[in-house]
Structure 1
């Protein structure tokens, strides 16, 4: 099982609403990824979810502290005691790449759709330790970053 963190960055102009930005992400072909293998093109699922089950309303606003807590701790879930060194490296890497994005975001949204009843047939392959997705909106820099932390 491999833990990994994927970042998708989008630029925007003006002051679109948060819901408009999230909707644009959900419609973007690059977001339509099964997260099970290298990206080969848009598909009709997203991570463990059937595509139609992830909507703008499925994202809840959260604080930077809440997002950071999840992102820094998810690699530690259900680990064997002999992988401590790997865990420390994972936390260091996640912190270096994701920490600045979370800290500079004006708004952060967390995917809050339950897996039960919304998972596609092969969804069990992704996220045995959880499928964590955040959208960090940085209006000062006109940047939106999708942060996905999971395993396969």
Structure 2
């Protein structure tokens, strides 16, 4: 199945590119969105999550190295520690709350950033049929320099009507 996922692109929103009221607002926050198409059919969510984990786009340390097709890291974790069963199914309201609290933690985001976050993060969240959240995996799962992220929020959005998986990462470093 992993070879059947097609990377369609994505978006990167760097809070540093926006003007905040408070000069102490975090410029070290960002959102990375990766969109992958999957073929229609009756494949279950567990298989889709496994295909995503096996895809080269998943091998991103989110620390400036970009996607490494043979990479061993995913965010703060070793890839080997991330399996479909570590994702928690969450509802839209919980996902929305986590992401809005994260984005607005220090102050409300400026209007232009709010528009971009709505388009790239909250609109896909609103249409997803299934939402999965990658929680804390424990110290043994954190790779050798995985502590660079102070916050790391990952959601996998499955939209069967569009035959799309969206990997959404919102983090601070």
- 2:110 is the alignment partner of 1:88: yes
CA separation of 1:40 and 1:46: change in aligned 2, threshold 3 A: closer
Deviation of 1:2 after TM superposition, in Å, equals 1.3
Matches within 5 A, 1:88-127: 88-89=110-111, 90-126=113-149
Residues 1:26 and 2:53 aligned together: yes
Give 5+ residue unaligned stretches, structure 1: none
- Using the size of structure 1 for normalisation, the TM-score is 0.86
Query: Which blocks of at least 5 consecutive residues in structure 2 are unaligned?
Result: 1-26
Secondary structure at the residue paired with 1:37? coil
Deviation at residue 38 of structure 1 after TM alignment: 4.7
TM-score (norm 2): 0.76
- Give the Cα–Cα distance (whole angstroms) in 1 for the partners of residues 35 and 53 of structure 2: 13
Question: Which of the pair has the greater relative contact order for Cα pairs under 8 Å at 6+ separation?
Answer: 1
Matching residue of 2:76: 48
Secondary structure in 2 matching 1:26: helix
Alignment RMSD: 1.7
**Structure 2 counterpart of 1:139, from 160, 164, 169:** 160
Structure ranking higher in helix proportion: 1
Tell me, in whole angstroms, the C-alpha distance in 2 between the residues paired with 1:73 and 1:115: 23
After superposition, what is the alpha-carbon deviation per residue over 1:36-62, rounded to whole angstroms, capped at 9, x for unaligned? 005152310100011111111110100
Following superposition, which runs of at least 4 residues in structure 1 exceed 2 angstroms of deviation?
87-93, 113-117
Residues 30-39 or 19-28, more deviating: 30-39
CA contact (8 A) 1:10 1:143 kept: yes
Shift of 1:116: 2.8
Distance 1:40 1:32, change over 3 A: closer
Q: Is the 8 A contact 1:25 1:31 kept in 2?
A: yes
In the alignment of these two chains, the number of paired residues is: 144
